């Protein structure tokens, strides 16, 4: 059903102004992205260590794809139609990385079977899957941003809401938008405190649509139950504040909520959450229930 398939052989390690597209897609078309895991699929055995792999290949994003008709100032709507995961996921804990990396001295690697909706963490511990895309973004026109870092263009957002059935809205900063993605997780909790999710290769099917004059604060994610603004900043405090204030802008400018009500409505019905605290910039999101958005009469394009 897809119009185009992008091989996992085509990856980038940064989202920059003059990225070279590996393929061109029509506006409204369906694209499959074969994605490598964040270790570029180099870890297959729990005895391996980071020193054994080429870490300069970390967090590859498959793509980028040029979307016909996308011009700077537009918004790219990315509907995540399907996520298929590989059979094996890898998790790790690394001294000096993540929150728990502050207190561990020994590197640990876990290789886990993933099947039938379950990640087999150990013989006694099975975890339900919540497949999500860790890295997804468009070309950043201002600077090269490595795929370890989240920002306005998307990138390493590590948002558990960016999964099958969700729609992500990203900025178009250069002609063609130049969409890329990778770093799937079979499961992950908010925060990604130990520096990894259940890192896994996969196949992601998306539909891409260029929106003109879209007023959403970006990046923005919508699913059946909720919608969320996302902001990435050097500190968690700033990321939290900005995610909240962007949702306030959305309520006032898109949904017509009076300014005196916007803050109270968010405070009474929304959830401020942490995407991740382990990347070079930290990411927070402000979530609102879709029931509230529907009551306001707003419909997402």
* Residues binding Ca ion (CB under 5 A): 38, 134, 156, 158, 183
**Radius of gyration for the alpha carbons in the chain, expressed in angstroms and rounded:** 19
- The alpha-helical segments, DSSP class H, found in the chain are 236-253, 259-269, 290-295
Please tell me the number of Cα atoms within 13 Å of 41 on its side-chain side: 15
Residue whose tokens read 């990385």: 97
Neighbours of 133 (CB within 10 A): 28
The span from the CA of 44 to the CA of 243, in Å, is 37
Of 22 and 38, nearer to Ca ion (C-beta) is 38
Of 190 and 249, nearer to Ca ion (C-beta) is 190
- In the complex, what is the shortest distance from the CB of residue 150 to Ca ion, in angstroms, rounded to a whole number? 8
Instruction: Please give the distance of CA 88 from its chain centroid, rounded to a whole number.
Output: 20
- In the complex, what is the shortest distance from the CB of residue 41 to Ca ion, in angstroms, rounded to a whole number? 13
What is the C-alpha end-to-end distance of the chain, expressed in Å? Answer: 23
Of 30 and 230, nearer to Ca ion (C-beta) is 230
Of 75 and 156, nearer to Ca ion (C-beta) is 156
Of 19 and 38, nearer to Ca ion (C-beta) is 38
Of 74 and 148, nearer to Ca ion (C-beta) is 148
Of 176 and 219, nearer to Ca ion (C-beta) is 219
- In the complex, what is the shortest distance from the CB of residue 55 to Ca ion, in angstroms, rounded to a whole number? 13
Query: Please, are residues 77 and 70 in contact by the beta-carbon 8 Å criterion?
Result: no
- In the complex, what is the shortest distance from the CB of residue 217 to Ca ion, in angstroms, rounded to a whole number? 22
Question: For residue 227, which of 208, 200, 251, 210 has the smallest C-alpha distance?
Answer: 251
252 class by beta-carbon count within 10 Å (0-12 exposed, 13-18 middle, 19+ buried): middle
The span from the CA of 42 to the CA of 48, in Å, is 9
Of 36 and 247, nearer to Ca ion (C-beta) is 36
Q: Which residue is nearest to Ca ion (CB)?
A: 134
- In the complex, what is the shortest distance from the CB of residue 147 to Ca ion, in angstroms, rounded to a whole number? 8
- In the complex, what is the shortest distance from the CB of residue 38 to Ca ion, in angstroms, rounded to a whole number? 4
- In the complex, what is the shortest distance from the CB of residue 156 to Ca ion, in angstroms, rounded to a whole number? 5
Question: For residue 172, which of 146, 148, 144, 141 has the smallest C-alpha distance?
Answer: 141
- In the complex, what is the shortest distance from the CB of residue 91 to Ca ion, in angstroms, rounded to a whole number? 9
Question: For residue 148, which of 48, 15, 7 has the smallest C-alpha distance?
Answer: 15
Name the 3-class secondary structure at 43. Answer: coil
């Amino acid at each position: 059903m897809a119009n185009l398939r992008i091989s996992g052989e085509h990856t980038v390690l940064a989202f920059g102004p003059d990225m070279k597209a590996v393929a061109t897609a029509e506006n409204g078309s369906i694209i499959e992205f074969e994605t490598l895991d964040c270790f570029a699929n180099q870890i297959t055995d729990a005895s391996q260590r980071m020193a054994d792999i080429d870490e300069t290949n970390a967090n590859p994003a498959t793509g980028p794809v040029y979307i016909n008709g996308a011009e700077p100032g537009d918004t790219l709507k990315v509907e995540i139609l399907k996520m298929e995961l590989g059979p094996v996921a890898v998790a790790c804990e690394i001294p000096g990385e993540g929150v728990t990396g502050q207190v561990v001295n020994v590197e640990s690697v876990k290789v886990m079977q993933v099947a039938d909706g379950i990640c087999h963490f150990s013989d006694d511990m099975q975890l339900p899957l919540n497949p999500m895309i860790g890295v997804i973004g468009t070309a950043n026109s201002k600077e090269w941003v490595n795929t370890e870092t989240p920002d306005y263009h998307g990138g390493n957002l590590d948002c558990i809401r960016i999964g099958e059935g969700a729609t992500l809205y990203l900025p178009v900063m250069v002609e063609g938008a130049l969409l890329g993605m990778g770093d799937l997780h079979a499961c992950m909790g908010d925060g990604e405190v130990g520096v990894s999710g259940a890192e896994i290769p996969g196949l992601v099917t998306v539909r891409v649509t260029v929106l003109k004059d879209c007023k959403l604060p970006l990046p923005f994610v919508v699913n059946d139950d909720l919608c969320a603004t996302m902001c990435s900043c050097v500190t968690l405090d700033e990321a939290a504040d900005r995610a909240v204030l962007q949702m306030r802008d959305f309520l006032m400018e898109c949904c017509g909520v009076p300014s005196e009500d916007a803050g109270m409505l968010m405070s009474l019905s929304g959830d401020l959450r942490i995407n991740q605290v382990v990347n070079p910039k930290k990411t927070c999101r402000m979530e609102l229930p879709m029931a509230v958005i529907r009551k306001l009469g707003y419909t997402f394009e």
